[in-house]
């Protein structure tokens, strides 16, 4: 039986990352060629791998893993390379559709793939649409997968900037009473985005990218008045936008850009009577060409198995108890209707 040779090309635009993969004087390439019986050629930003299909697939997985840990050290140390080679040799050969499903690799070398059918639809929607709305319960990977796709787009030079933003809604707290300057006040609300970013890029590399303006993490209010060209933009916690804020954000999209909007409509922290911009956007934009909506439910939860059971319990409760009967006792509105102790009346109210 004759096995036809296969050739694939991997784009690695970052010269430092290419050097990390190939090694000094192509020593890593030489090691890979000997181990897998393939031919690897590095030309500019392209890495061409040719040989028997199964071996090419394994080397492709190996290169992806190597890229995932680049930036932590200047050189790929031999014990780490040998471990990665061993893992690639032992791993089952991925089918072409499974290779396409691979989204990214974490800094610890873990390969990121969609874990459910809705996650697969989400990834395909991001690849094919300029604007994607991901709506669903917590723990379904909406934000993490969006950041992973954004990081990959930036690394492949398909965009020049990655912008991560969230509305700074207080979720029961008041920004005005928190210590520190404005950045110190809003950073806790942006921390989940930083966490996802650091899972996918070493902190040193992400810090350099932020210094160069290639990565920006900022509150939604900072987007006003800007035109965002050649950017991958992620709006997280979009259920806490107002319709006006949502329209403002969506009209920032410039040439060569794409946006992903994520949110959980069961966790809206807006004030009483304030409509959610995410719910309004679905009503207004459903069916518009170039825009995709992907819905997630408890079956897509990838956190602790208890999270899925918690989500189902709350859904059952909401079906039994009418929404108007679900009142939340807030410490500043129910337990303490007057000014807070030790705070003058003029300072006890939110004047923002």
Which pLDDT score is estimated for 342? 45
Is pLDDT of 249 > 70? yes
Higher pLDDT, 268 or 77: 268
80 and 167 fall within a common domain = no
CA distances for 316 relative to 96, 211, 269, 311, 313, angstroms: 41, 47, 21, 9, 5
Residues 131-156: tens digit of each pLDDT:
999 999 888 889 999 999 999 899 88
140 and 50 fall within a common domain = no
Q: Which spans in 70-141 are helix H?
A: 78-90, 96-101, 117-128
Residues 173-200: tens digit of each pLDDT:
445 555 555 556 566 767 778 888 888 8
Kindly state the DSSP code that residue 178 receives in the 8-state scheme: S
- Within-domain flag for 57: yes
- Within-domain flag for 214: yes
Distance CA 17, CA 209 (A): 14
Distance CA 279, CA 58 (A): 44
Phi-psi region of 333 (alpha: psi -120 to 50; beta: other; left: phi over 0): alpha
Which pLDDT score is estimated for 304? 61
* Burial class, 288, CB count within 10 angstroms (exposed 0-12 / middle 13-18 / buried 19+): exposed
Of 112-126, 198-212, 312-326, which range is least confident?
312-326
Calculate what percentage of the chain has a pLDDT beyond 70: 75
Which pLDDT score is estimated for 180? 57
85 and 126 fall within a common domain = no
Domain count, the chain: 2
Q: Are 58 and 90 in contact (CB under 8 A)?
A: no
- Within-domain flag for 337: no
Which pLDDT score is estimated for 7? 87
Work out the average pLDDT over 202-207. 84
Q: Could you list the residue range(s) of the whole structural domain that residue 125 is in? A: 113-302
The domain spanning residue 135 has which CATH number? Answer: 3.40.50.300
Q: What angle do CA 260, 159, 102 make, to 5 degrees?
A: 65
83 and 141 fall within a common domain = no
Q: Are 133 and 142 in contact (CB under 8 A)?
A: no
86 and 127 fall within a common domain = no
Which pLDDT score is estimated for 316? 77
53 and 119 fall within a common domain = no
68 and 157 fall within a common domain = no
Q: Kindly indicate the confidence band of residue 308, based on its pLDDT and cuts at 50, 70 and 90.
A: low
The domain spanning residue 71 has which CATH number? Answer: 3.30.1370.10
Q: Which one of 102, 131, 156 terminates a domain? A: 102
Tokens at 283, concatenated: 């009503």
Tell me what the pLDDT averaged over the chain comes to. 79
200 and 277 fall within a common domain = yes
Location of structure tokens 């694939």? 8
Q: Are 261 and 291 in contact (CB under 8 A)?
A: no
Work out the average pLDDT over 191-214. 86
Q: Kindly indicate the confidence band of residue 303, based on its pLDDT and cuts at 50, 70 and 90.
A: low
- Within-domain flag for 53: yes
64 and 128 fall within a common domain = no
Tokens at 271, concatenated: 């004030």
Which pLDDT score is estimated for 137? 86
- Within-domain flag for 273: yes
Q: Which one of 273, 302, 331 terminates a domain? A: 302
Phi and psi at residue 149, to the nearest 5°: -65, -35
Residues 3-45: tens digit of each pLDDT:
567 888 888 888 888 888 888 888 899 999 998 999 999 988 8
Q: Which of 83-97, 128-142, 193-207 has the highest mean pLDDT?
A: 128-142
- Within-domain flag for 327: no
Q: Are 33 and 83 in contact (CB under 8 A)?
A: no
Is pLDDT of 95 > 60? no
Q: Kindly indicate the confidence band of residue 330, based on its pLDDT and cuts at 50, 70 and 90.
A: very low
Q: Which one of 278, 302, 326 terminates a domain? A: 302
C-beta atoms surrounding 20 within 10 Å: 21
- Within-domain flag for 350: no
97 and 131 fall within a common domain = no
Distance CA 139, CA 2 (A): 47
CA distances for 108 relative to 12, 200, 258, angstroms: 19, 9, 28
- Within-domain flag for 347: no
83 and 133 fall within a common domain = no
170 and 55 fall within a common domain = no
Q: Kindly indicate the confidence band of residue 341, based on its pLDDT and cuts at 50, 70 and 90.
A: very low
């Amino acid at each position: 039986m004759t096995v036809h040779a296969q050739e694939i090309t991997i784009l690695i635009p970052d010269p430092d990352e290419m050097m990390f993969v190939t090694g000094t004087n192509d020593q890593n390439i030489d090691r890979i060629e000997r181990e897998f019986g393939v031919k690897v050629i590095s030309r500019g930003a392209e890495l061409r791998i040719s040989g028997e299909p199964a071996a090419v697939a394994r080397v492709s997985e190996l290169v992806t893993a190597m890229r995932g840990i680049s930036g932590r050290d200047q050189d790929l140390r031999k014990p780490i390379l040998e471990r990665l080679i061993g893992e690639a040799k032992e791993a089952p050969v991925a089918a072409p559709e499974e290779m396409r499903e691979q989204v990214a690799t974490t800094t610890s070398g873990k390969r990121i793939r969609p874990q459910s059918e809705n996650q697969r639809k989400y990834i395909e929607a991001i690849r094919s649409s300029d604007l994607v709305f991901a709506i669903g319960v917590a723990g379904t990977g909406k934000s993490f997968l969006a950041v992973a796709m954004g990081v990959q787009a930036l690394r492949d030079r398909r965009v020049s900037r990655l912008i991560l933003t969230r509305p700074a809604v207080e979720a029961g707290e008041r920004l005005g009473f928190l210590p520190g300057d404005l950045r110190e006040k809003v950073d806790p609300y942006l921390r989940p985005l930083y966490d996802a970013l650091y899972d996918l890029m070493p902190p040193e590399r992400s810090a350099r990218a932020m210094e160069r303006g290639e990565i920006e993490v900022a509150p939604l209010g900072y987007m006003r008045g800007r035109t965002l060209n050649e950017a991958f933009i992620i709006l997280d916690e979009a259920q806490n936008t107002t319709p006006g804020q949502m329209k403002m954000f969506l009209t920032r999209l410039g040439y060569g850009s794409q946006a992903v909007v994520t949110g959980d409509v069961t966790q809206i922290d807006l004030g009483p009577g304030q409509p959610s911009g995410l719910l309004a956007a679905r009503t207004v934009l459903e069916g518009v060409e170039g825009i995709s909506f992907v819905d997630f439910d408890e079956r897509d939860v990838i956190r602790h198995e208890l999270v899925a059971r918690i989500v189902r319990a709350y859904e059952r409760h909401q079906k039994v108890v009418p929404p108007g009967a679900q009142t939340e006792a807030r410490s500043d509105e129910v337990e303490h209707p007057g000014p807070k102790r030790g705070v003058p009346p003029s300072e006890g109210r939110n004047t923002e």
